[in-house]
Chains A and B, each alone.
Chain A
Amino acid sequence: MSRKLTLGILWLSFLIPFGVLIYLSFSTQWFYPSLVAHPFTLEYWHSFFEGRSGLFQSTGLSVFISLTVSSFATAGGFFISRGIAYYTSSRWWLVSAYFPYVIAPVVLAVMLNHYFLQIGLSGTIVGVMTAQLLITLPYAVIFFYGFWNQNIRNFENLVDTMGGDFIQKMRHAILPSAKGLLVICFFQCYLISWFEYGLTQFIGVGKVETLTIMVYRYVAESNPYLAALAGTLLIIPPIILLFVNRKFIFQKGWSL
């Protein structure tokens, strides 16, 4: 009985936060100590879909930034990790790829801000994407490093000795084995970018209004209802990914 109770508490402690978040997005007033919000309304959702709240644009911008960042990070990480695995022998190359990834992104942004200001990237979408790439790219390099094992090398050598060029090696020897990992890496980089707040806020100086920026802005404006709506929008893609494939969410990429 006590086991069932403990499990029940665990279920509730995980599900209630989701419930509260979604419930708040359907409210406009919720005075203490009432347990039920009045009125229960679709007003904010309507304004979202009609593009009145600015959240619609933020969602589009977030999707655009995350898709672009994860595409570049996945492609770049894939080829760079191949080079590091094949052409270097010191382990320090891989270890150094962890450095930008383990430092808090916001601290990295602080330390880099001077250069972003100098080249005029501060406060721009390109600047935010560049900054996000600085953490997602090393992540992708680490992610793919283990892929380049002896078996893949042998495959490449085989195509090589049969007269195949780089494109043919990619098409026949590498991509068929890598496509599953490429998809997982793409979505994990997507989520790193999608979840990012501190670095985006600092490099974007509040002008690049992604969904995470909007959550904080609404909290600061004491509008928990719109913050909840933005928060709900933020959890939709990861929830979908969770149901499609758990591997998109569970980051196992520590090649220690």
Chain B
Amino acid sequence: MTKKLIITLFIALILLPLGLALGYSFLYSIGAVGLLSDGLTLEHWADLFRGEFLSSILYSLWVALASAAIALGLALIFLFTLRNQFEKPGTYRLLFLPLTIPPIVVGFIIFQMYSGSGVLSRLFYHAGVVSGAQEFPVLVQDPYGIGIILAHVFIVFPFFLLVMLNVYKNENLNEIGRVASSLGAVQKTIIWKLHLPILMRGLFPLLILYVIFFMGAYEIPLLLGQSSPQMISVLILEKLQRFNLGDIPVAYSMAVWYALICIIAISFLLIKFRKKRAI
């Protein structure tokens, strides 16, 4: 295995496809190639800041931030209230369960659970809370992305908790708490001044990474999102596959910019946090 062969393989199999993908999409987005191309233009980039594309970006950002924040908050609450419980093998293993479900199936299950005719609505009906499916609050395919956020939280909250439990153990937070306590610190101070900063230092890169992943989520918003506004990936695909041919360059602009944001964000994370491990 010579150096040249390996480097060539790396470039050919990993960097070249990405470069080609970005290159073609970039050319399409500035009108250099494409079916209806009228020559070079930045008009399609400008379109990103208008109409449904802008609302899609804002909507994706909202869903991503809300999902990450709720998952983080829940994980922290469970960590500080029930940490001892997760030392039992059965309960600890339980946290891995949501990681075994593919996103498309999570989307399907959340729909079956929280839609107007879903399991929760049936339970509420029999409890006398609602008198029919139409009275049940709209939790999926709703304007606020509640269903999507629920699905994201279902998958990621246990993952965050697992990571936190690892950090808690590896960073000896229990001992640190004891030392602080012997120095006179109260529980509130220990949590806010010691445990939280140490946990967040380890979790921050992971959190940003998941915001990026959530922004690009496809399967779950496809099943649980409403028709407008849509999450970025869903909108890009819809614009490419249906309706107006004139939307294709804007879809490519969106793809290029989304990909560049991902690349810049991960580069920043890897360079900035090179000496710290997230997990």
A and B bound? Answer: yes
A contact set with B: CB distance below 8 Å: 3, 6-7, 10-11, 13-18, 20-21, 24, 32-35, 76, 79-80, 82-84, 87-88, 91, 93-100, 102-108, 110-112, 114-115, 133-134, 137-138, 141, 166, 194-195, 197-198, 202, 212, 215-216, 219, 224, 227-228, 231, 234-235, 238-239, 241-242, 246, 249-250, 252, 254-256
B102 touches which of A17, A98, A105, A195 (Cβ 8 Å): A195
Cα A219 to Cα B115 in complex, Å, equals 14
Judged by DSSP, the binding face of A is helix
Assuming the A-B contacts A106-B233, A141-B14, are A197 and B112 also in contact, with contact meaning beta carbons closer than 8 angstroms in the complex?
no
10 intermolecular pairs with C-beta atoms under 8 Å apart: A6-B81, A91-B270, A102-B212, A107-B259, A108-B21, A108-B259, A110-B237, A235-B101, A242-B93, A254-B209
B contact set with A: CB distance below 8 Å: 1, 3, 5-7, 9-10, 13-15, 17-18, 20-22, 24-25, 78, 81-82, 85, 91, 93-94, 96-106, 108-113, 117, 119, 121-123, 125-126, 132-133, 154, 158-159, 162, 205-206, 209, 212-213, 216-219, 222-223, 232-233, 236-237, 240, 251-252, 255-256, 258-259, 262-263, 265-267, 269-271, 273-274, 276-279
B122 touches which of A21, A33, A228, A250 (Cβ 8 Å): A33
Are A3 and B81 within 8 A (Cβ)?
yes
Assuming the A-B contacts A96-B14, A100-B18, are A228 and B277 also in contact, with contact meaning beta carbons closer than 8 angstroms in the complex?
no
B3 touches which of A76, A83, A100, A215 (Cβ 8 Å): A83
Residue of A nearest to B4 (CB): A87
- On chain B, the residues within 8 Å of A91 by CB distance are 270-271, 274
Are B17 and A134 within 8 A (Cβ)?
yes
Are A102 and B209 within 8 A (Cβ)?
yes
- On chain B, the residues within 8 Å of A106 by CB distance are 216, 218, 233, 236-237
Assuming the A-B contacts A110-B251, A219-B223, are A95 and B267 also in contact, with contact meaning beta carbons closer than 8 angstroms in the complex?
yes
Are A79 and B6 within 8 A (Cβ)?
yes
Assuming the A-B contacts A3-B85, A194-B102, A198-B233, are A256 and B108 also in contact, with contact meaning beta carbons closer than 8 angstroms in the complex?
no
Assuming the A-B contacts A215-B105, A231-B109, are A111 and B271 also in contact, with contact meaning beta carbons closer than 8 angstroms in the complex?
no
Are A14 and B255 within 8 A (Cβ)?
no
- On chain A, the residues within 8 Å of B105 by CB distance are 21, 212, 215, 231, 234-235
Are B266 and A197 within 8 A (Cβ)?
no
Cα A96 to Cα B19 in complex, Å, equals 11
